[in-house]
């Protein structure tokens, strides 16, 4: 009888400790939907949730992203999420990588897609997209 009571007490304590934490998979899904919405190829990415801070219906999450199957993190972003209609939705972000300052969602989209996410960069007008041979370059002049 004591064993059963101890087991029930342990289960109750463990479930109580987890009650204030959001489901990381639900947060991850909110981030994935956001990244798809801005045009990134999330199918080619590994996306994982790091640190999470929750304040009621709002959360700040550190998200690690990398090329699928590489096992490395290429970029880390901090996202601010809110619960809307029972789902976590990204409402803001802060870049923590070495890629520079952040832009509002959707800003700075490259024509032809994001080359880092599997898209193709358009070729320069009149060019083949290849580097010229050193023999095809003009000679460098002397600086005075």
Q: What is the pLDDT of residues 53-111, one digit of tens each?
A: 999 999 999 999 999 988 888 889 999 999 999 999 999 987 655 443 334 344 444 44
> Where on the phi/psi map is residue 137: left (φ > 0), alpha (ψ -120 to 50), or beta?
beta
- Cα–Cα separations (whole angstroms), residue 16 to 20, 27, 58: 8, 20, 20
d(Cα 116, Cα 94) in Å, to the nearest integer? 19
| Domain-wise residue ranges, the chain | 19-97
Domain range 19-97, CATH architecture: Roll (3.10)
Centre a 10 Å sphere on the Cβ of residue 40 and count the other Cβ atoms it contains. Answer: 21
Tokens of 119: 């898209």
Stated pTM of the model:
0.53
pLDDT digits (tens, 9 = 90+) for 8-34: 544 544 444 444 455 889 999 999 999
DSSP-based three-state secondary structure for 75: strand
């Amino acid at each position: 009888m004591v064993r059963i009571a101890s087991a029930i007490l342990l289960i109750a304590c463990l479930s109580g400790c987890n009650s204030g934490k959001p489901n990381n998979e639900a947060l991850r899904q909110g981030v994935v939907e956001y990244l798809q919405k801005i045009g990134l190829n999330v199918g080619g990415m590994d996306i994982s949730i790091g640190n999470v801070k929750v304040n009621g219906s709002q959360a700040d999450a550190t998200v690690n992203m990398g090329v699928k199957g590489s096992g490395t993190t290429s970029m880390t972003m901090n996202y601010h999420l809110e619960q809307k209609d029972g789902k976590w939705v990204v409402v803001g972000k802060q870049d923590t990588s070495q890629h520079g300052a952040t832009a509002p969602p959707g800003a700075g989209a490259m024509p032809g897609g994001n080359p880092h996410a599997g898209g193709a960069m358009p070729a320069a007008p009149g060019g083949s997209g290849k580097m010229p041979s050193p023999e095809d370059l003009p000679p460098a002049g002397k600086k005075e």
